[in-house]
Amino acid sequence: MNEYLSSICKEVIAGNQTEVIELVDKALKNGILPLTILKEGLTRGIESLGTKFKTGEVYLPEILISIRAMNNGLNLLKPYFRSSNDFQHEGTIVIGTIEGDIHDIGKNLVRLMLEGTGFRVVDLGVNVSSSSFVKSVCEHKADIVGISALLTTTMIHIPNVIHALKQNPLCDRVPVMIGGACITRGFADEIGAEGYAIDCTSAPEEAKRLMKGREKRL
């Protein structure tokens, strides 16, 4: 890999925003394409955090400073892209906390991770009803729906969203991924949610897996 790109990746992982800005600037001046800098430098750095998170090499503070460093680098690249679709290339995900639940810390971290790995995220916020999920999925032509729930008393509303999506021919094939304190893989399987992320760093990997499945179906 190009020296600049590997250094950008390394500094994103270390969360060094000043170094990332300098390196992105230098990479651009040396003729490296913005999309290459994004994919091979910035995004690669964020993606490798997922593995480090799972092995306990990094924790939430390190994730946050890495995402901040990446976003600072991305700000330098944005003027080179015609539209946000150029750097949000992985797909569109509508996310929200389920109806009755107003917790958003986990959901917000998932949003940051997804954006950092190239997804376009439409965040509906908290206490989101089935109809709002469906409306937004259709409006934004979303590829995936992400639903968060903290409480046992609210996770029971997630099947309503899945049911509502299946009832609408415009979004009946959009896969759902879920997560949150009370959610398990078993629960996801039980209610027919195709994706499950145990934590924020697992979300991009799971979303990419769902995207591949979606491409095959389409």
Partner 1 sequence: MNISARNRFLNISHFKTHDLCLPSSFFLFWPETLTLWMEGGAPHTIKNGKGRMNYFKLDHARFLWEVHSGLEVAHYEFRGQLYTYFITPLIPSYESRIIEEDENSLIITNEAGQKMMINKIHAGNMPMYLDHPVRDKASWENIKKRLDPESPGRWPVVWDEYATRFHNRDYPLGLSVGSLFGFLREWTGLERLLFWMYDDPMLVEEMMDHMVFLETVIIKRVLKDIKIDFALLWEDMAYKAGPMISPEMFRKFVMPRCSKITELLRKEGVDIIFVDSDGNIDKLIPLWLECGVNGFWPLEVAAGMDAVAIRKKYGKEVILAGNIDKRQLTKGKELIRNEVMSKVPFLLGQSGYFPCIDHLVPPDVPFENFIYFLNLVREICGLEKIDNLLPIIR
For partner 1, the binding residues (CB under 8 A) are 15, 56, 58-62, 64-65, 68, 100-106, 108, 126-127, 150-154, 156, 181-182, 184, 198-199
Which of 51/84 has CB closer to partner 1?
51
Give the Cα separation of 210 and 175 in Å (integer): 7
Q: Which of 141, 115, 114, 146 is closest to 128 using CA atoms?
A: 146
Percent helix, percent strand, percent coil in the chain, to nearest 5: 60, 10, 30
Q: How far is the CB of 63 from partner 1 (least distance, A)?
A: 9
- Which residues 6+ apart lie within 8 Å of 29 measured at CB? none
Q: How far is the CB of 42 from partner 1 (least distance, A)?
A: 19
Asked whether the beta carbons of 209 and 197 are under 8 A apart, the reply is: no
Q: How far is the CB of 54 from partner 1 (least distance, A)?
A: 9
Give the Cα separation of 174 and 176 in Å (integer): 7
Q: How far is the CB of 46 from partner 1 (least distance, A)?
A: 17
Which of 73/106 has CB closer to partner 1?
106
Which of 122/182 has CB closer to partner 1?
182
Q: Which of 106, 211, 92 is closest to 155 using CA atoms?
A: 106
What are phi and psi for residue 170, nearest 5 degrees?
A: -80, -15
Q: How far is the CB of 107 from partner 1 (least distance, A)?
A: 11
Asked whether the beta carbons of 96 and 44 are under 8 A apart, the reply is: no
Q: How far is the CB of 126 from partner 1 (least distance, A)?
A: 6
Burial class (CB in 10 A: 0-12, 13-18, 19+), 110: buried
Which of 170/198 has CB closer to partner 1?
198
Which of 75/167 has CB closer to partner 1?
75
Which of 15/34 has CB closer to partner 1?
15
